[in-house]
Amino acid sequence: MTGYVTNFQQVTTQLPTPIAWEITRTDGEVCDSFRFDFPFEASLRAALSAATRFQAKQAGQVVFFGIVDDYSVSITPRGCICTLRGRGMGGILLDNEVPARTWTNATMDSILNAYAAPFGVTHNTPALSLSGNYAVALGSSAMQALRVFALNAGALPPRFLNNGALSIALTRTNSGFQFHEGELLSARLHDCRKGVISKQYSRKSGNITLLGNATFLAEGGAAQKYSAITNQSLLAAPRIALSKRERRTLQLLFTGSFLAEPSKRVQVTLPSLNLSDWFYVTQCKSTSDADGTLCELTLSQY
């Protein structure tokens, strides 16, 4: 693993070989993040203090690109150790708030030009639009403005690729990976009913509509919710979809790193848990230290 920092003047500095690192990439529900531990050299302090971007490469391939949040240096019996931390490019959209604005028949391009491009975020997105009005409240983060639009337009949560580019997709695609029990170090299955919406009642202009979660209702789910729908709130369908994320999850631990791309579908077969089904990747966390390199995948079925 090789790490690089770049300052606001676009000067890039290669960092010493790390003694430990952690890189977490997600499907966009939470922000990507990194930690990079390396032997500190006094000559690096100016470059680190001015660093705004971090890039990691493994075997010459970019595996992470994001923003620098902070660094610290500790004097230890092993020498001076620097810990550099930060988030994916979603962090800069979370950090920047935007003024109030109302859009009529907004398109994905217009939303991106307002809430992604000004902050240096590149993108790979489909053509999407919303009929009627879409409003962004004063003080909303750029990420919130972008995310609510994408979800209401029928897309998946916005996420960021390994090179820092924004990606918004309409459907999940298969990764081609099949994970079997004999390949992993450990597995944890978690079934959770709390927080899953069974019925979503939505009130708009005095009218109330109902959208049911058929799968959860068939399992005896009983958690009805009421929401007033405005031009700046999530619609019923994405509310239900987001509530289902924790319904059935798996955590799988392997040797290696970056084993699956977030948001992609994978097939899992675990006879000990009487489980053979499709899941999608919500988080891929890769870590490395003196004890080895590990990859923990968090998967969701719904």
Question: From CA 1, how far away is CA 6, in angstroms rounded?
Answer: 17
Antiparallel, parallel or unpaired: β 33-39 and 51-58 = unpaired
Tell me, what's the pLDDT at 238?
A: 97
Q: Which portions of the chain are predicted below pLDDT 50?
A: none
**Cα–Cα distance measured from residue 135 to residue 99, given in angstroms and rounded to the nearest whole number:** 11
Contact partners, residue 294, CB within 8 Å, separation at least 6: 185, 253, 254, 255, 256, 257, 286, 287, 288
Q: How far is it, in rounded angstroms, from Cα 246 to Cα 223?
A: 14
What pTM, to 2 d.p., does this model score?
A: 0.94
What's the pLDDT score for residue 114?
A: 96
H-run or E-run covering 239: helix 236-243
What pLDDT does 129 receive? 87
pLDDT of residue 39: 97
**DSSP-based three-state secondary structure for 164:** coil
Residue 215 is predicted with a pLDDT of 95
Give the model's pLDDT for residue 178: 93
**Cβ atoms within 10 Å, residue 110:** 14
The pLDDT value given to residue 61: 96
Helix (H) or strand (E) holding 114: helix 108-115
Task: Write the pLDDT tens digit of every residue in 90-122.
Answer: 999 999 999 999 999 999 999 999 999 999 998
Amino acid at 199: K
| Beta-carbon contacts of residue 162 (< 8 Å; ≥ 6 apart) | 25, 62, 63, 64, 65
State the pLDDT at residue 16.
98
* Beta carbons of 95 and 69 less than 8 angstroms apart: no
If you ran DSSP here, which 8-state letter would residue 183 be given? G
**Which class for 205: exposed (0-12), middle (13-18), buried (19 or more C-beta within 10 A)?**
exposed
For position 32, what pLDDT does the model report?
A: 98
- Predicted confidence at residue 24, as pLDDT, reads 98
